[in-house]
Structure 1
Amino acid sequence: MSEEKLSVFPMGEKNDAYARYFVGQSYLKMLTTEGVVIGNVTFEPGCRNNWHIHHQGGQILLVTGGRGYYQEWGKPARELNAGDVVNIPPEVKHWHGAAPDSWFAHLAVEVPAAGASNEWLEPVTDAEYGSLK
């Protein structure tokens, strides 16, 4: 699957502002920053974000295309495909990203909450990522 067919939403520019929190190349197009913040995040094959925690509000992922993974700390990774929804409660350490052989795109919805913040942690190691099915 090519990046052109991932989503009806625009792919956006290279995600340089957050590049230090990703292994590989991602792209970001903010769809709205009013009320509920929603970004279209696109991952090249093999790209994934670091482990991170959303404090207070949490996050919802709406998968729009490709194949990827979501994993919570201490749990097995879950394969994601177009149409999947992931509800990430606040205070849960997790990561998400593309499969090694597929582009991947999701809408990242920030759940509004007073004092909400995001804490970026260590990268997902090549060994952790390489063990995925």
Structure 2
Amino acid sequence: MFTEESDMRIISGRSGAPSITASGTFTGQVLQDPVITDRADVKINTVLFTPCSRTYWHHHSHGQILQVFRGRGFVAGADGVPQLISEGDTVWIEPGERHWHGGTAESLLGHTAITLGDTVWLEEVSEEEYAAASVTTGLADDK
């Protein structure tokens, strides 16, 4: 659909406000900087996970895009098999796919999260599930 009027917005960098400490659906220390949060169909946040911090299991009605800009981390999908993600990676998570993401034990993870539609939060990622991520991705062998 073509329109002559523009609803385009430019959001300039950080607002200068303090980062938000995420809680309730995260394990460990997680900081968020909101980019776009006033729309029902899309939310954008930059998120910094300290080592060992992570989201709870969750899913999004229309999917999610993660663009990693710092460090290394894990993302695990519906099959529960964690994968290593690093700076420069982009992750597409299908609509409705149960997943979690967060930093490794040795590295923080910074990503921009583009969330499409609603988010449904589920249970906490267990310590056993998180510990298995290092083994599954081969990071346990690096020690």
- Normalised by the length of structure 1, the TM-score is 0.81
Identify the residue that residue 132 of structure 1 maps to in structure 2. 133
Amino acid in structure 2 at the alignment position of 1:103: L
Moved over 6 A (4+): none
Determine the C-alpha separation between the residues in 2 that align with 1:107 and 1:86.
10
TM score, norm. by length of structure 2:
0.75
Which runs of 5 or more residues in structure 1 are unaligned? 1-8
Answer 1 or 2: higher relative contact order, Cα 8 Å, separation at least 6.
Answer: 1
- Provide, for residues 4-59 of structure 1, a one-character-per-residue CA deviation record: whole Å limited to 9, x for no partner: xxxxx65x52424xx1101101000012336653210000110000000101x211
Provide the residue aligned with 1:117 in structure 2: 118
2:83–2:133 contact (8 Å) kept in structure 1? no
Instruction: State, as a whole percentage, how many aligned pairs show the same letter.
Output: 33
Letter aligned with residue 132 of structure 1: A
Contact 1:14–1:25 (CA<8 Å) still a contact in 2? Answer: no
Q: Distance in 1 between matches of 2:106 and 2:20?
A: 20
In 2, Cα distance between the equivalents of 1:94 and 1:22?
A: 13
Matching residue of 1:106: 111
Which of these residues, 1, 21, 24, is aligned with residue 15 of structure 1? 21
- Does the residue aligned with 2:130 lie in a helix, a strand or coil? helix
Alpha-carbon separation, structure 1, partners of 2:125 and 2:38: 31
- Asked whether 1:44 is paired with 2:45, we answer no
2:86 paired with 1:81: yes
Distance 1:42 1:62 in 2: 12
CA distance in structure 2 between the partners assigned to 1:51 and 1:34 by the alignment = 24
Q: Number of aligned pairs? A: 118
Report the Cα distance in structure 2 between the residues aligned to 1:121 and 1:37, rounded to whole angstroms: 19
Confirm whether residue 27 of structure 1 aligns to residue 31 of structure 2: yes
- Which has the greater radius of gyration? 2
1:70 Cα deviation after fit: 0.4
Q: Distance in 1 between matches of 2:75 and 2:21?
A: 19
Whether the aligned pair in 1 keeps the contact of 2:71 and 2:109 (CA below 8 Å) is yes
RMSD: 1.9
Aligned residues of 2:20 and 2:33 also touching (Cα < 8 A) = no
